[in-house]
Amino acid sequence: MKKQALIIAGVGGRGVLVGSTILLNTAFQQNLPVFSADEYGMSQRGGSVVSHLKIGPYQSPLIGMGEADVLLGFEASEGIKNLPMLKEGGLCILNTPEPGTGNSRLDSYLSERGVILSTIDADKTAAEIGSPLSANMVMLGFYSFFGKPTFSFSKLMEYIEHSSPERFLGFNRKALKLGYQHAKTLKDKGLL
């Protein structure tokens, strides 16, 4: 089994803990060994929230500097603050309307390290479907394009179908699908 370490970074109220729980349970339902740890302080007041998620035969849930395979920045500045956690050749997905980190020197540095940097305006996408709180689902849908086989679109959708409260299910389905389609469109255009 291939090991995988993921960091999800954002601020309180952005769905970091919900997103982490969805990934954790999706892996768990596949009978994979999974560890999780959350760091949050003033999260209810918009403070930093970081979730560590490891799949595979690890001994500890915490991810050290330069060890994360994937970094999901549910909020761009929090994602950028956690870039040192990402290993060379890792995947970074940021929720931002900008085509990169907004800093050309940082983008060049990440490129030199072989980091795949991709962005999506998950906030705008979620607002367009009438559910601004679904931005985390847009991010997970985008990531599902890269997350095969453990976090494939079908695996995440299966979990969401069985776990979402009825009043959020329609929005969650749509948001997940839009995130995935956005990544697929970028790939088809040669931008990924």
Q: What is the pLDDT of residues 139-177, one digit of tens each?
A: 999 999 998 889 999 999 999 999 988 988 999 999 999
pLDDT at 81: 94
Instruction: Measure the CA–CA gap between 97 and 36, rounded to whole angstroms.
Output: 29
Task: Quickly state the pLDDT bin for 48 (edges 50, 70, 90).
Answer: confident
Cβ burial of 22 (10 Å; 0-12, 13-18, 19+) is buried
pLDDT value at 126 more than 90: yes
User: Of 169, 138, 133, which Cα lies nearest the Cα of 153?
Assistant: 138
pLDDT at 148: 83
pLDDT value at 68 more than 80: yes
Q: Mean pLDDT across the chain, nearest whole number?
A: 91
How distant is the alpha carbon of residue 87 from its chain centre? 16
pLDDT at 191: 79
CATH number, domain containing residue 95: 3.40.920.10
Query: Could you report the per-residue pLDDT of 2-42, keeping only the tens digit for each?
Result: 789 999 999 887 789 999 999 999 999 999 999 999 887 65
pLDDT at 43: 53
pLDDT at 12: 80
| Amino acid code (one letter) for 2 | K
pLDDT value at 99 more than 80: yes
Structural domain tally of the chain?
Answer: 1
Instruction: Measure the CA–CA gap between 80 and 74, rounded to whole angstroms.
Output: 10
pLDDT value at 75 more than 60: yes
User: Domain of 167?
Assistant: 4-188
Is the entire prediction scored with pTM above 0.85? yes
Helix (H, G, I), strand (E, B) or coil at 67: coil
Q: Give percent above pLDDT 90 in the chain.
A: 76
User: Of 4, 1, 46, which Cα lies nearest the Cα of 151?
Assistant: 4
- The answer to whether the beta carbons of residues 131 and 173 sit under 8 Å apart is no
Instruction: Measure the CA–CA gap between 36 and 166, rounded to whole angstroms.
Output: 26
pLDDT at 4: 94
- The answer to whether the beta carbons of residues 6 and 73 sit under 8 Å apart is no
pLDDT value at 179 more than 60: yes
